[in-house]
């Protein structure tokens, strides 16, 4: 039998199938600035200042330009499609004596540089994914080739059996094993790279859809003639109102048990999808509505109407103004420990009903439609702590913190994230503006160190009256409170007795031990105890009543 040796070097023929990686794909999606064109010169602009209103923004773009003597034209291209063309204002300063002509605004169809940059990045990812697909095919080819080498021992060709010689068997086996391991690693590398590229592509595509709505965008071109006495450098300022931007107030309220204070961090949450980034810009937050135009306003009919409230104020347990029930269920949650940082705060201006916050440092707000928080103020208020329990509905003791706005800031309506120390409690709301000296109360969630329970201790019925025509039911309840904390506490406990809504139904023999501290006149049947309880103590409250009604009547609510 003739032995045919399989040279290991044959395998090297297939090794060229694997393609070398061409490097990572750039995912730079930074927004390019609008450009100013003056004759054959091009100048970059930057967003210097943005006044953000509730539903739009006033943007100021600036640039330093060189303008030749005589007559020229300043052309600013690539302004967003969402601008109010009637709001565009242009000013120049510095340099030589110059005069501007009338401003003209034109709607252009173009693909902004940022959109094109995103498309180029997505195409680069697609190209790389195609290369990886070819690499995978090469790996599959090499794997099949290696398997064919391993199977030569049992193959037949032209009636002759092909075998691997004993001298090469060990070396060949090791070689096959090492090459298969390399192929497995290459396959894993390709899979990981494909996942990362697909993730980047998805992010880029979402950003592209956000700023261009999936296609070529339209934008504005501004042209203004200028005449100057001599060639000089000028500062150009272009202001315009753009839609697709806004802000709203938001707060973090953190109660510190040791200091008895509430730290309130006041944020402005800015969101914009105007297709241009506000890079390192001065940010001003305003509640005003921008007034545009040059003509005086016209009077409209002064019409008087009867006022009809559009909302109903919630009744707050324990008095004060409880600023909305938690949107989420109030549940203690562990929050990660963080290093305390000091914020740079804003300066506030109040003029009539308009509030303006000047953010202290420049910020970058990208055009991504996402929330970006800027700090308006970091405030501290003394808090009046109070424990509240409604054991009929929930056998937990809750803590509230009553504060007074002693700051110079108007607290505008907005969402409040509430914390006990570093534990997240839940979400509440400022539902109306809170000015100086206005009081407000935070519900800070339940406490674990004070326990409360409520149970029924007596329940029986008897027939009364002539021939037993009436029925009388007795009810008795016991409320027990236990203070396991390290300090004394005062707990307000709320309960109630039923109230008759029919003259044939009577509530009688009402008894309490101890007597309640308050019976709410505006809410018949509610009773409130203020129980002082020392650390480690237990106390009990007893209440009972009877309900009398005709025996042939079914009483709803018992």
Co-location of 344 and 476 in the same domain: no
- Backbone dihedral region of 205: left (phi > 0), alpha (psi from -120 to 50 degrees) or beta? alpha
* pLDDT the model gives residue 415: 94
Say if CB 535 and CB 486 are below 8 A apart: yes
Q: What share of the chain is helix, strand, coil (3-state, %, to 5)?
A: 20, 45, 35
Half-sphere exposure of 244 (CA within 13 A, CB side): 23
State both tokens at 258: 């040791």
Peptide bond into 264 cis (omega under 30): no
Co-location of 80 and 162 in the same domain: no
* pLDDT the model gives residue 178: 82
Say if CB 531 and CB 495 are below 8 A apart: no
Q: Give the C-alpha separation, 434 to 403, whole Å.
A: 11
State both tokens at 173: 């086996």
* pLDDT the model gives residue 150: 65
Closest CA to 276 of 35, 64, 27: 35
Residue 168: in which H helix or E strand, if any?
helix 166-212
Half-sphere exposure of 407 (CA within 13 A, CB side): 21
Say if CB 402 and CB 300 are below 8 A apart: no
> E strands within 122-243?
156-157, 160-161, 217-228, 232-243
Residue with tokens 């007074």: 404
Q: Residue 297 in 3-state DSSP?
A: coil
Co-location of 409 and 483 in the same domain: no
Does residue 477 sit within a domain? yes
Does residue 296 sit within a domain? no
Q: Residue 33 in 3-state DSSP?
A: coil
State both tokens at 110: 């173009």
Distances 263 to 344, 376, 407, 421, 495 between C-alpha atoms, Å: 15, 14, 12, 10, 32
Half-sphere exposure of 65 (CA within 13 A, CB side): 31
Say if CB 447 and CB 433 are below 8 A apart: no
Does residue 309 sit within a domain? no
* pLDDT the model gives residue 537: 94
Does residue 319 sit within a domain? yes
Q: Give the C-alpha separation, 59 to 272, whole Å.
A: 12
Co-location of 257 and 328 in the same domain: yes
Closest CA to 408 of 361, 442, 443, 357: 357
- What are the contacts of 4-7 at 24+ separation with CB within 8 A? 4/160, 4/162, 4/163, 5/164, 5/165, 5/168, 6/149, 6/152, 6/162, 6/164, 6/168, 6/172
Distances 299 to 65, 185, 296, 500 between C-alpha atoms, Å: 44, 78, 10, 56
Co-location of 201 and 259 in the same domain: no
Q: Report the first-to-last Cα separation within the chain, whole angstroms.
A: 103
Domain end call among 441, 468, 483: 441
Contacts of 392 by beta carbon, 8 Å cutoff, 6+ apart: 454, 495, 496
Co-location of 237 and 248 in the same domain: no
What is the extent of the structural domain holding 85?
35-52+60-109+220-242
Q: φ, ψ for residue 339 (rounded to 5)?
A: -75, 130
Sign of the Cα torsion 251, 252, 257, 262 reads negative
State both tokens at 327: 């949107």
* pLDDT the model gives residue 76: 92
Q: Quick one: three-class SS letters along 378-443?
A: EEEEECEEEEEEECCCEEEEEEEEEEECCCCCCECCEEEEEEECCEEEEEEEECCCECCCCEEEEE
Does residue 298 sit within a domain? no
Co-location of 233 and 335 in the same domain: no
Does residue 310 sit within a domain? no
* pLDDT the model gives residue 182: 86
Beta bridge partners of 52: 57, 285
Co-location of 148 and 186 in the same domain: yes
Does residue 419 sit within a domain? yes
Co-location of 182 and 64 in the same domain: no
Co-location of 251 and 342 in the same domain: yes
Say if CB 11 and CB 22 are below 8 A apart: no
Does residue 295 sit within a domain? no
Co-location of 258 and 229 in the same domain: no
Co-location of 236 and 248 in the same domain: no
Q: Give the C-alpha separation, 379 to 394, whole Å.
A: 33
pLDDT tens track, the chain, 558 positions: 444 344 433 333 334 333 333 344 433 333 446 888 998 899 999 999 999 999 999 999 999 999 998 899 999 988 888 899 889 999 998 877 888 888 999 988 766 666 778 888 999 999 999 999 898 888 888 888 877 766 654 444 444 444 555 555 667 677 777 888 888 888 899 999 999 999 999 988 887 776 665 444 668 899 999 998 888 999 999 999 999 999 999 999 999 888 889 999 999 999 999 888 999 999 999 988 766 555 676 666 676 665 555 443 333 333 333 343 333 332 333 333 333 333 445 565 655 557 889 888 899 999 989 999 999 999 999 999 899 999 999 999 998 999 999 998 999 999 999 998 888 988 999 999 998 899 999 988 888 889 999 999 877 777 776 666 888 889 999 999 999 988 899 999 999 989 888 888 888 889 999 999 988 766 678 899 999 999 999 999 999 999 888 888 888 877
Distances 435 to 288, 349, 412 between C-alpha atoms, Å: 17, 13, 9
Domain end call among 212, 229, 254: 212
State both tokens at 372: 């970006």
CA torsion 139→145→147→153, rounded to 10°? -170
Say if CB 14 and CB 142 are below 8 A apart: yes
Q: How many domains does the chain have?
A: 4
CATH of the domain at 538: 2.60.40
């Amino acid at each position: 039998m003739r032995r045919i040796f399989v040279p290991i070097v044959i395998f090297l023929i297939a090794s060229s199938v694997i393609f070398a990686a061409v490097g990572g794909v750039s995912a730079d999606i930074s927004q390019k600035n609008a450009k100013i064109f003056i004759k054959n010169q091009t100048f970059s602009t930057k967003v210097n200042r943005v006044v953000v209103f509730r539903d739009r923004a006033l943007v100021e773009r600036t640039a330093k330009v060189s303008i030749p003597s005589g007559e020229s034209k300043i052309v600013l291209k690539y302004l967003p499609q969402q601008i109010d063309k009637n709001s565009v204002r242009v000013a120049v300063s510095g340099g030589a004596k110059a005069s501007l002509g009338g401003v003209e605004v034109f709607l252009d169809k173009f693909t902004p540089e940022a959109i094109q940059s995103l498309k180029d990045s997505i195409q680069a990812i697609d190209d790389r994914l195609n290369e990886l697909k070819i690499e995978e095919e090469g790996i599959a080819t090499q794997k099949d080739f290696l398997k064919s080498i391993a199977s030569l021992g049992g193959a037949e060709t032209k009636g002759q059996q092909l075998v691997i010689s004993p001298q090469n068997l060990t070396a060949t086996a090791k070689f096959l094993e090492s090459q298969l391991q390399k192929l497995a690693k290459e396959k894993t590398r390709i899979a990981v790279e494909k996942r990362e590229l697909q993730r980047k592509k998805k992010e880029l595509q979402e950003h592209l859809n956000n700023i261009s709505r999936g296609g070529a965008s339209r934008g504005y071109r501004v042209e203004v003639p200028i005449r100057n006495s001599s060639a000089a450098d000028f500062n150009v300022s272009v202001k315009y109102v753009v839609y697709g931007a806004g802000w709203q107030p938001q707060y973090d309220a953190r109660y510190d048990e040791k200091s008895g204070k509430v730290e309130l961090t006041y944020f402005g949450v800015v969101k914009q999808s105007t297709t241009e980034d506000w890079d390192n810009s001065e940010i001003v937050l305003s509640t005003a509505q921008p007034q545009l135009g040059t003509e005086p306003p016209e009077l409209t009919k002064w019409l008087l109407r009867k006022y009809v409230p559009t909302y109903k104020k919630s009744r707050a347990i324990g008095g004060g103004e409880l600023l909305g029930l938690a949107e989420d269920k109030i549940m203690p949650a562990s929050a990660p420990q963080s290093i305390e940082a000091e914020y740079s705060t804003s300066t506030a201006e109040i003029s009539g009903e308009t509030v303006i916050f000047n953010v202290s440092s420049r910020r970058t707000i990208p055009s991504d439609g996402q929330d970006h928080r800027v700090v308006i103020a970091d405030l501290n208020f003394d808090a009046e702590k109070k424990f509240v329990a409604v054991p009929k509905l929930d056998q937990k003791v809750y803590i509230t913190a009553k504060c007074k706005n002693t700051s110079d800031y108007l607290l505008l309506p907005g969402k409040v994230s509430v914390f006990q120390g570093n534990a997240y409690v839940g979400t509440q709301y400022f539902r109306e503006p809170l000015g100086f000296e206005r009081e407000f109360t935070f519900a800070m969630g339940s406490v674990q160190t004070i326990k409360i329970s409520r149970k029924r201790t007596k329940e029986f019925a008897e027939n009364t009256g002539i021939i037993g025509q009436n029925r009388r039911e007795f009810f008795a309840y016991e409320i027990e409170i236990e203070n396991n904390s390290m300090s004394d506490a005062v707990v307000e406990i709320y309960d109630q007795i039923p109230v008759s809504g029919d003259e044939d139904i009577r509530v009688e023999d009402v008894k309490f031990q101890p007597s309640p501290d308050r019976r709410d006149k505006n809410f018949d049947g509610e009773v409130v105890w203020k129980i002082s309880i020392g650390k480690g103590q237990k106390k009990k409250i007893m209440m009972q009543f009877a309900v009398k009604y005709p025996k042939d009547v079914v009483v709803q609510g018992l």
